[in-house]
Structure 1
Amino acid sequence: MGFAFRLEKVLNHRRFLLETARQAWQAARLLERQARRRVQDLEQRIQTAEAEWQARQRNGMDVATFLAYKDHIRDLARQLPQLRQEQQLASDEVERRRQLLLEREQAMKVLEKLRDRCFQDYTLECARNDQKKLDETVIIKTHRDAEDV
Structure 2
Amino acid sequence: MITHLDKQGNPAMVDVSEKQVTKRTAVAQSIVVLPEEVLQHLTDGDLQTKKGSVFQIAIIAGIMAAKKTGELIPLCHPLGLDNCKVTIALNHKHEVVIECTATITAKTGVEMEALVGASIAALTVYDMCKAMSHDIVISETRLLEKTGGKRDVKRA
Q: Return the index of the structure with the highest Cα Rg.
A: 1
Same-fold call, TM cutoff 0.5: no
After TM superposition, the score normalised by the length of structure 2 is 0.25
Q: TM-score, normalised by structure 1?
A: 0.26
Q: Which has the higher strand share?
A: 2
